[in-house]
Amino acid sequence: MPEEKDYLKEGKKNIEEGEYQSAIFNLKKALEEHPNYSDINNLMAVALSLSSRYKESEEYFKKAIELDPQYIEAHINYALTLNQMGKIEEANSEFGKAESLEMERESEFEKIEFSVRARISNAHKDTAILYASIGRFNAAIDELKKALRFAPNFHDIRTYLGEVLMERGDFEEAKKELKEVLRRSKDYIPAAIKLGLCYYKEDDKEIAKEIWEKAQELAPKNVTIKAHLNLLKE
């Protein structure tokens, strides 16, 4: 007997791979089986929005939020879509709802076990990546700071915060975050690479070289470090 197709799993995979039409097909099939699943409605809305079918996506965002009014991710995704449609006031309203829900949830923070905190933290990071991709660096930074409240020792998140701060042109704050990563874990190479890049962009090439050379001692085969050191030869 052939194995039943998992349309939801396939739809998620399609979105990750940028195959939005396939995602819409598979998520429609998933909704035929589970029309009242808020997650599937949210994903369908996201797939439609990423296909620039904004008006259609609204129906599914509203359904997802109707099914689960506490669904922070759906509020944020809907806000981003409204922003794309030029509905700025409505977008700000959805962002506000998401922020209020986040504050309510944080009051329960101490009751949340670590595995759940990690999932929440990574969800904030994913949202930050989405904001950064459209140039909303302030919003991305806010999301990353929220992520670090749940998982302050996640070096990848703090390093990405440093990267986004650098993209915003806030080099001093970027260096502060990256140095904090290295204080906690001196051999965390991605933070060392970004810290060196921060100094390089400030035209302080001697310090950049020193940082990258120390990193190379720890990871002599790291091609990214080699590429950055080659920048200094140009």
Quick one: pLDDT band at residue 98, thresholds 50, 70, 90? confident
Q: Which pLDDT value is given to residue 114?
A: 67
Under a CB-based contact definition with an 8 Å cutoff, are residues 195 and 163 in contact? Answer: no
Domains of the chain are 1-101 (1.25.40.10)
The answer to whether 70 and 98 are in contact (CB under 8 A) is no
In this prediction, residue 97 has a pLDDT band, given cuts at 50, 70 and 90, of confident
Structure tokens at 202: 């400030």
**Could you read off the pLDDT of 4-42 as tens digits, one per residue?**
468 988 998 998 888 999 999 999 999 998 999 999 999
**Residue 132 · residue 164 · CB < 8 Å:** yes
Question: What is the pLDDT averaged over residues 131-155?
Answer: 89
Answer for the pair 180, 158: CB distance below 8 angstroms, yes or no: yes
Provide the pLDDT for residue 4.
47
Tens digits of per-residue pLDDT, 163-183? 999 999 999 999 999 999 999
**Residue 58 Cα to chain centre, angstroms:** 22
Q: Is this structure's pTM higher than 0.95?
A: no
